[in-house]
Chains A and B, each alone.
Chain A
Amino acid sequence: MSTEFLVQLKGITKRFPGVVANHQVDLTLRPGEIHALLGENGSGKSTLMSVLTGLYRPDEGEIYIGGQRVHFRSPHDAIKAGVGMVHQHFKLVDTFTVAQNVILGDRRVPFIPSMSSIEEEIAQISSGYGLAVNPRAYVWHLSVGEKQRVEIIKMLYRGCSVLILDEPTAVLTIQESRQLFANIREMAAQGRTVVVITHKLHEVMEIADRVTVLCRGEAVATFERGGFSERDLALAMVGRDVVSKVEKPAARKKDVVLDLQDVYALNDLGRLGLRSISLTVYGGEILGIAGVAGNGQRELSEVVTGLRPVIRGHILMDGVEMSGEGPRGFIDRGVAHIPEDRLGAGLVPGLNAVDNLILKEYRRKMARGPFLDRRGAESNALDLIGRFGVRLSSLYNPVKYMSGGNLQRLLLAREISSEPRLIVAVYPVRGLDIAATEAVHRLLLEQRAQGTAVLLISEDLDEIFKLSDHIAVLFEGAVTGVLPAAGADAEEIGLLMMGSRKTEEQAV
């Protein structure tokens, strides 16, 4: 029953409410190969691997392992069949030792395990693949790289022959990544199959024997080692859809509204999240920020709304220095914010629409001394809901029961009605259907026509091309290029997104 392929996925389709995450995806894995799964965020890589590891059950399609059809009910079943996954967020118990973590949940281990023999076995595995880690060490002592090795050892200990690593280098330093790649090569050399989920082109170039590219939930291409260039990958990944152009009058260049000068900021891990960002947004202009998620978009949006402090450089709003200000200072200067996390930041889930619509005005227009202007808040809500076409069952239900599109309309209604100078819109149409997307885009363009400056952060290149006047590309916290949207082509942007700064001559 030896087949060329160890694992075969045939026609996998997985739907979530309103989204098709995977559509008729085929994927094959050979024994002993390093297979990269490449795609932008939201392209369906993680969903596909969750199907393979038993976390999700596919709506359609078949999984074969070693030529036999399998139905996984849980990750446990997948591990029994030899398929294990190392997730981006480690699932380790800090106060346990490495050995205790490795056997955690392993049903083969007897009720009273012999820790010394288990530790010995772990030591053998770790020396066999160069995965240096002390089995007796407590996990809270370990570095991120070491924790990852523990996760890998855990899967090897359970006899997994197919290892899936989800964005393994996202949390690693360069040295740690190099070490990891050496480990991966060693595992492959010893006959294990390693799948690396990634959106970084250079990693694919460095280690993959084969690569499958996913775009919008479909497997668009599979390349063999030697049969692809960085550019092929970028093209396949970004897709070659004709960009839908909307009629928009040329931007009326007005005054500078937002000016970032050599801005540095830390990310949540305390490392540099933004390096030397210099950007200018004019009134009546949309500046699109392109880039693969996680390259500083969140930090940028937080810095220009006062939610994240700047450690170096200047932020000017209408010429006024803002770098020491908090969110309130930015709000008072006319910065509107459509955040990535609608229900976690932009709206208060447990409060009703009336209360949510005064979140920015409760200490200005809606204040009557220490009291709130309740009548004003109500008529404000009725007015905005009518004007922006928000559908509600009642003004007084908590907004968490509303649909995504309506939530976004509600949020936009509030932010736009504050008559802002600058709108910072982060993934403004994520999760919305076509009609809602169009409505949001129309609103942003209307604002642009009225002379508002718009900073649009999106991972959807179509959206960026459609709306922007200028496009800036972020990669690893730095701007790799700013170009006018008219005349820019997707390939060039795609390469800038992958960090190659000097690609102009390649792209021609």
Chain B
Amino acid sequence: MKFGGGLITLEKRAAPSPVMAVLVPVISVVLALLVGAVFLKLTGQGPFPIYMEMFSRAFGTRYGLSETIVKSIPLMLAGLGVAVAFRMQLWNIGGEGQLFMGAFAATWVALNFPDQPAWFLLPLMFFAGCVGGGVWGLIPALPRAYMGVNEIITTLMLNYVAILWVEYLVYGPWKDPQGYNFPLTAKFSAGAILPTLGDSRIHAGLLFGLTIAVVLWVVFNRTRWGYEIRVIGDSPGAARFAGMNIPRNILVVMAVSGAVCGLAGMAEVSGLMHRLQPGFSPGYGYTAIIIAWLAKLNPLAIVLVAFLFGGLQVGGYIVQTSGVPATMVAMLQGSVLFFILGGDILLRYRLRWRRPPDTTVKGKEVGT
């Protein structure tokens, strides 16, 4: 890096700094809050009271806390989902679409077997959610595995297909006849609804998330398959050298990644909405990307970060009443990711200030 006379140089560290590994996410969040504060100030709000209110309302009350947990469920599941692909350096940006397709498939089951009991319906919807999201993850994986087609573009594009597909259904064939023409499906039957914790809105999707987090941690750290994912992600050359099947792993990893994201969609419709409706996800699949990064792809850390981001969203909704736009939360999330990615370089390099080098004689024009 050169500024003016070459004042800042980057020096490679001998080993990644463990201090920075903790410090960078923390500092990133603080810097993001500072950036947000500037904008709050510009809109005439006092940043500090707003932040205080967001925090206390999201984590400080029984109701706020339970809402934070409710919000964290889809974030957690989708975050875990995309992290599976990210571990192998597959950039699955399609979490949102996979979530919609999971919700779609689970809804299909709920609407077609309304009279079935829960012990039959819920496992089937669970399975359908995984298949819906898994297939949606598998589609971009095929051209990626066999032709090297960049998965970032394809997964992103498929999001719109999935979202519009769900909109088509709820505005058209799946619209509830008794719904006063609102774009909603009929409410699910009792057997298609996930149980909740006491009288709160916290549903069994939380258990899915926690269980999958533990399972993924074991898979990543303790199994041969997790080892293959790490090797392929870090060095495809070494993976080939060791006789690993890279195309097959791309397919499996993307399918699993999509399946977990699909499960996020299933949990939302079955646990919270109890029906399919457009816009039921305010971009959970995208926020999930930020969460996965912030957690350094560690499944257990994803649970924690998802909880914090859930609180951020709840806090954001609540302070809307005091005139703060809800998009501020999106801005804060974006700033966090921005600083995390920027700060990552500090893990591997240290900044060093240097004096400009001695001026050197320039090459002279010489006639021949």
A binds B: yes
Q: A339-B241, A348-B235, A351-B231 are in contact. Are A71 and B362 (CB under 8 A)?
A: yes
Please tell me if the beta carbons of B363 and A327 are within 8 angstroms of each other in the complex.
no
A residues in contact with B224, CB < 8 Å = 362-363, 367, 370-372
Measured in the bound complex, the distance between the Cα atoms of B361 and A341 in whole Å is: 39
Interface membership of chain A positions 344-356, coded 1 if the CB is closer than 8 angstroms to chain B and 0 otherwise: 1111111100010
Measured in the bound complex, the distance between the Cα atoms of B244 and A327 in whole Å is: 8
A residues in contact with B14, CB < 8 Å = 401
B2 at the interface (CB under 8 A from A): no
Q: Interface extent on A, as a size class?
A: 35 or more
Please tell me if the beta carbons of B234 and A346 are within 8 angstroms of each other in the complex.
no
Please tell me if the beta carbons of B238 and A346 are within 8 angstroms of each other in the complex.
yes
B residues in contact with A350, CB < 8 Å = 230, 234-235
B296 to chain A: closest CB distance in Å? 13
Q: Interface extent on B, as a size class?
A: 20 to 34
Please tell me if the beta carbons of B242 and A360 are within 8 angstroms of each other in the complex.
yes
Measured in the bound complex, the distance between the Cα atoms of B363 and A70 in whole Å is: 6
Please tell me if the beta carbons of B366 and A359 are within 8 angstroms of each other in the complex.
no
Measured in the bound complex, the distance between the Cα atoms of B243 and A345 in whole Å is: 11
B residues in contact with A331, CB < 8 Å = 242-243
Interface membership of chain B positions 357-368, coded 1 if the CB is closer than 8 angstroms to chain A and 0 otherwise: 000111111111
A residues in contact with B361, CB < 8 Å = 71
B residues in contact with A500, CB < 8 Å = none
Interface membership of chain B positions 237-266, coded 1 if the CB is closer than 8 angstroms to chain A and 0 otherwise: 111111100000000000000000000000
For chain A, residues 52 to 108, give those with C-beta under 8 angstroms from any C-beta of chain B. 54, 65-66, 68, 70-73, 77-78, 80-82
B26 to chain A: closest CB distance in Å? 23
The residue of chain B having its C-beta at the shortest distance from the C-beta of A330 within the complex is B243
Measured in the bound complex, the distance between the Cα atoms of B223 and A326 in whole Å is: 23
Please tell me if the beta carbons of A345 and B238 are within 8 angstroms of each other in the complex.
yes
B222 at the interface (CB under 8 A from A): yes
A residues in contact with B168, CB < 8 Å = none
B residues in contact with A326, CB < 8 Å = 243
Measured in the bound complex, the distance between the Cα atoms of B367 and A161 in whole Å is: 10
A residues in contact with B362, CB < 8 Å = 71, 73, 77
Interface membership of chain B positions 1-38, coded 1 if the CB is closer than 8 angstroms to chain A and 0 otherwise: 00000000000001110000000000000000000000
Measured in the bound complex, the distance between the Cα atoms of B85 and A488 in whole Å is: 55
For chain B, residues 207 to 229, give those with C-beta under 8 angstroms from any C-beta of chain A. 222-225, 227-228
Please tell me if the beta carbons of B365 and A397 are within 8 angstroms of each other in the complex.
no
User: Which of B222, B364, B366 is most buried by chain A, counting CB atoms within 10 A of its CB?
Assistant: B366
Measured in the bound complex, the distance between the Cα atoms of B17 and A397 in whole Å is: 11
A374 at the interface (CB under 8 A from B): yes
B residues in contact with A349, CB < 8 Å = 234-235
B230, B241, B360, B366: which contacts A346 (Cβ < 8 A)? B241
The residue of chain B having its C-beta at the shortest distance from the C-beta of A401 within the complex is B15
A residues in contact with B223, CB < 8 Å = 370-372
Measured in the bound complex, the distance between the Cα atoms of B241 and A73 in whole Å is: 41
A residues in contact with B230, CB < 8 Å = 348, 350-351, 355
Measured in the bound complex, the distance between the Cα atoms of B228 and A330 in whole Å is: 18
A residues in contact with B225, CB < 8 Å = 370
Please tell me if the beta carbons of B240 and A372 are within 8 angstroms of each other in the complex.
no
Please tell me if the beta carbons of B243 and A306 are within 8 angstroms of each other in the complex.
yes
Measured in the bound complex, the distance between the Cα atoms of B234 and A398 in whole Å is: 11
A101 to chain B: closest CB distance in Å? 23
Q: A348-B231, A372-B227, A397-B15 are in contact. Are A81 and B238 (CB under 8 A)?
A: no
Measured in the bound complex, the distance between the Cα atoms of B239 and A341 in whole Å is: 13
B225 to chain A: closest CB distance in Å? 7
B residues in contact with A6, CB < 8 Å = 368
Please tell me if the beta carbons of B15 and A393 are within 8 angstroms of each other in the complex.
yes
A210 at the interface (CB under 8 A from B): no
B3 to chain A: closest CB distance in Å? 18
B residues in contact with A334, CB < 8 Å = none
A307 at the interface (CB under 8 A from B): yes
For chain A, residues 371 to 404, give those with C-beta under 8 angstroms from any C-beta of chain B. 371-372, 374, 393, 397-398, 401
Measured in the bound complex, the distance between the Cα atoms of B115 and A302 in whole Å is: 61
For chain B, residues 85 to 103, give those with C-beta under 8 angstroms from any C-beta of chain A. none
Please tell me if the beta carbons of B15 and A327 are within 8 angstroms of each other in the complex.
no
B20 to chain A: closest CB distance in Å? 15
A337, A345, A362, A393: which contacts B227 (Cβ < 8 A)? A362
Measured in the bound complex, the distance between the Cα atoms of B364 and A65 in whole Å is: 10
Please tell me if the beta carbons of A327 and B364 are within 8 angstroms of each other in the complex.
no
B residues in contact with A73, CB < 8 Å = 360, 362-363
Measured in the bound complex, the distance between the Cα atoms of B241 and A305 in whole Å is: 9
The residue of chain A having its C-beta at the shortest distance from the C-beta of B361 within the complex is A71
B residues in contact with A355, CB < 8 Å = 227, 230-231
A residues in contact with B15, CB < 8 Å = 393, 397-398, 401
Interface membership of chain A positions 478-501, coded 1 if the CB is closer than 8 angstroms to chain B and 0 otherwise: 000000000000000000000000
Measured in the bound complex, the distance between the Cα atoms of B241 and A98 in whole Å is: 40
B122 to chain A: closest CB distance in Å? 27
The residue of chain B having its C-beta at the shortest distance from the C-beta of A366 within the complex is B224
B residues in contact with A65, CB < 8 Å = 366
A388 to chain B: closest CB distance in Å? 19
Measured in the bound complex, the distance between the Cα atoms of B235 and A6 in whole Å is: 48
A residues in contact with B368, CB < 8 Å = 6, 31, 66, 82, 161
A328 at the interface (CB under 8 A from B): yes
A77, A345, A360, A362: which contacts B237 (Cβ < 8 A)? A345
A residues in contact with B234, CB < 8 Å = 348-351
A240 to chain B: closest CB distance in Å? 38
Q: A66-B366, A328-B243 are in contact. Are A344 and B360 (CB under 8 A)?
A: no
Measured in the bound complex, the distance between the Cα atoms of B136 and A166 in whole Å is: 49
Please tell me if the beta carbons of B364 and A307 are within 8 angstroms of each other in the complex.
no
User: Which of B16, B239, B362 is most buried by chain A, counting CB atoms within 10 A of its CB?
Assistant: B362
The residue of chain B having its C-beta at the shortest distance from the C-beta of A305 within the complex is B241
- Can you list 19 A-B pairs, Cβ within 8 angstroms, ordered by A? A54-B363, A66-B366, A66-B368, A70-B363, A77-B362, A80-B365, A327-B240, A327-B242, A337-B241, A345-B241, A349-B234, A351-B231, A355-B231, A359-B241, A363-B224, A367-B224, A372-B222, A374-B222, A397-B15
Extra contacts besides A345-B235, A348-B234 (6): CB < 8 Å? A71-B362, A77-B363, A346-B241, A359-B242, A360-B242, A393-B15
